[in-house]
Each structure stands twice: as C-alpha cells, then as structure tokens.
Amino acid sequence: MTIKLSDHFTYGRLLRFTLPSIVMMVFTSIYGVVDGIFVSNFAGKTAFAAVNLVMPVLMMLGVPGFMLGTGGTALISKTLGEKDKDKASGLFTMLTLICILSGVVLTVLGMLFMRPIAKGLGAEGQMLEDCVLYGLLVLPASTAYILQFAFQSFCVAAEKPGLSLAMMVTSGICNIVLDALFVAVFGWGLVGAAVATAVAQFVGVFIPLIYFARPNESLLRFQKFSFDGKALLRTCANGSSELMSNLSMNLVSVLYNLQLMRYAGEDGIAAYGVIMYVNFMFLSVAIGFSVGTAPLIGFNYGADNRPEQKNIFKKSMVLLTVFSVLMTATAMLLARPLSTVFVGYDRGLLEMTVRGFYIYSLSFLLCGFNIFGSSMFTALNNGLISAVISFVRTLVCQTAAVLLLPLVWELDGVWFAIVAAESAALLLTAFCILKFRKRYHYL
C-alpha cells in the first residue's frame, strides 16, 4: 500500500517510507567502495591516491543537484501541502531543466581547468597524469551526476521513493559490472574505472527522466511551465545549506589531503581515500533518512499539521540515536576487514588506515543529528539557518580542527579533526532546534 505524505507516521511507517532513500544512499556508497577496490587492487596505489586527490573536485560538480533537489523539494512539498499540484509539477520541470544546464556549463569549465586544478592540489609526475586522465573521462557525465542527486529528493516528494532507489540500484549494478569487465578482465586500469563510472551515471538517470516525461501515478510529472525567478531564488536559498555543506565538505577534503601529504605523503592520501569511501557508506544512513523525512516535514509545515510535525521530529530523534550507536559499533568492528580489502597488499599503509578508521568512526555518534538538523530547516524553508549549521559544521569547525590538531598530535590530529568538528557543530544544531521550536512547532 502506498504511503502518502499526509499519513500519520508510526515508527514502522516512517522506516518504510524512508527505507528506499536509505538503501539508495547506502547502495550508492557501496558501488563507490567497489570502484575504489578495483582501482586500488588492479591499478595500484598511485592511481588510487590520484583518484582520491581529484575526487573532491569532481564531487563539487554535483552540488547544483543537491541544492536544487533539496531546496526545490522543500518548496514543491510545501506547494503540494497547499493543494496546488499543477504549480508543483511546473516547479519540478523548471528545476530539472536548470540542473541540465548547470551540468553542461560545469562540464565545459571542468575540462578546461582540470590540469591546473590537479597541479594546484599538489599532484606531480604520474599522479598528476592519472588525476587529469580520470577527471577528463568522468567529467562528461557531470549532468547525469547532478540529475541523480536532484532526483533523489524529487522522487520522494512525488511519493515515489522506490523510483530513486531503482535509479541508484541500476546505476550501481552497472558500475560494478563494468568495473569488473573493464578493470579486472580487460585490464584497462584507471581508464576502465573512469569509463565505468561515467556510463553508469547516464544509465541510472534515464529511469526517472522517462518516468516523469510520461503520464504517471505520482504527484509530479514534466509539463509546460513559465519561468519563475522568485521560485528559483527561493529554491537556491532553501538549498543553500546543501550547497554550502557539499562545497565545504569537498573543500575540506582538499585541505585534509594537503595535510596528509605533509604528514604521511602518498600513503596518507591513500589511507584517507579508504576512510572516505567507507565513511560515506555509514553516513549514507543518516543522509538517506534525512532525505526521506524532508518532504514529510515540508508537507506538514505547508498543511500546518502541528501534531504530525511533533510526531515526526520525536520519532526521528529516537531513530537517529539508534542509527548512530549501530553505525559506530559496526564501523569499529569492520575497520580492519574493510581496510584489508582496499590496501591489504601494503602492511604499513594498512596499519595507518586502520588506526585512522578507528578514530574517525567516533564521529558517527554525532554526525547524524547535525545532518538531520540542517535538512530539517531546509524542509521548513529556512535556508539561512540550515546554511549556518552546514557552514559551521563542514567548513569552520573542520578547517580549524584539521589545521590546529595536527600541530599537537600530528597524523592522529588529522583523524581526530572530524570528531572535534562534529562535537562543536552538535552544540550549534541543538541551540538552533531549541531556539526555533516555537516558530515551527516540532517540539
């Protein structure tokens, strides 16, 4: 039976509604992990380090999808709550086209400046060439990458979270199969991994494009629209936190790489790469849950259903607490096995990775609440507060921590930086939730 945005949500119903978003994000991270395993074991440590060095830049190109997807979903969900389905579909169509235009522009810019960017990150010799090669092969899929992130949110607003799950599962399976074929069987190394990633992104995004272009049973479909500049500005304001969060996260990743290059060289970047691949796998639970609950929060805010707003917030806090404890415990247990899969061929690198993994895992106790807090304010159409939480969490706190803590603890200070940053950000998130409780009635 279809779960509707207007339903009353028990724990079971809330989990069922958000599960597709959670599974989608977890699956996305898993195929990213598989991609890294193939590169590390078949292309070598230098190629693996090169991919991890340039990856934050490539991921920055997806931020329009996060911003327009989350910000647009907040506005679309509120509009649906106000019973204006045609307007909601018009907004949806306009934002999808803007995602496509953004992807084209960013692809051109990325291809023009890939080599200078790689040099600026500190890549030299073979690592530089590997960075440029991988980047140029993946960049043509930037438009599909942006659309995938946008549809993760749009599909939930359309009451079709399973559609975004189908998109990511299809893309993920395609990537894994092509990785095995191109890298392990054909021996194309880094080229094979890049081509597999690009092709898989295009394959997955065709599913929602085709679905929404035809008459369907969801709340949204592509239709003629009039350009609405005010709605676009409001969408960008709503989604500014996700824009800031993802830009900041990737900028900080660049800073982490620079610090690791200083304290541990190429091995440090490779170790950080392993932790980042697996880190996203655990974070994806909190991200997926936040993506899944955002349309519910936005809808009930638009419908002024205060009892249900309080119900969803309370249950979300309980579930996030359970998720946080389970994620941390699981990460601790799997630190060595997962690290061995990536870099078991190098004993010194393995031990460095495992130690970093143990320390980094402590952040999973805290990050879910910060992710949800930012997402909640976006869904409430308060992009400013959401952006402040994201900015402080991902840029201010992490930048300060990763610059200062290594002065005392050297390499361990780099690993502890994320724990210190999430702790500081949690205080800000809690303050904002308490401060605005009377305005939005979630408490």
Write out pLDDT tens, residues 246-305: 777 788 888 898 899 889 988 898 899 899 888 888 888 999 999 889 989 989 998 999
Helix (H/G/I), strand (E/B), else coil: 388: helix
Mean pLDDT, rounded, for 109-138: 92
Its sign, for the CA torsion 265, 268, 274, 278, is negative
Provide mean pLDDT across the span 50-75.
Answer: 85
With DSSP H G I counted as helix, E B as strand and the rest as coil, what are the percentages for the chain, rounded to 5? 85, 0, 15
Encode 316-329: b = buried (16+ Cβ within 10 Å), e = exposed. Answer: beebbeebbeebbe
Region 4-12: mean pLDDT is: 89
Q: Is 112 exposed, middle or buried (0-12, 13-18, 19+ CB in 10 A)?
A: exposed
C-alpha 371 chain-centroid distance: 11
Q: What is the pLDDT of residues 16-45, one digit of tens each?
A: 989 888 887 887 777 667 778 888 888 888
CA distance 326 to 356: 19
pLDDT score at 83: 86
Average pLDDT value for residue range 92-106? 95
The amino acid sitting at 233 is L
Output DSSP code: residue 6: T
Q: What is the pLDDT of residue 146?
A: 93
Q: Rounded CA gap, 61 and 361, in Å?
A: 27
pLDDT tens per residue, range 354-397:
999 999 999 999 999 999 999 999 889 888 898 889 889 888 99
- Residues 66 and 53: their CA atoms lie apart, in Å, by 22
Across 226-254, average pLDDT: 83
Question: To the nearest whole number, what is the mean pLDDT of the chain?
Answer: 90
Burial class (CB in 10 A: 0-12, 13-18, 19+), 216: middle
Would you say 251 and 56 are in contact if contact means Cβ atoms under 8 Å apart? yes
- Looking at residue 1, what is its pLDDT? 57
Going by pLDDT thresholds of 50, 70 and 90, the confidence category of residue 110 is very high
pLDDT at 195: 94
Residue 306 in this model has a pLDDT that exceeds 80: yes
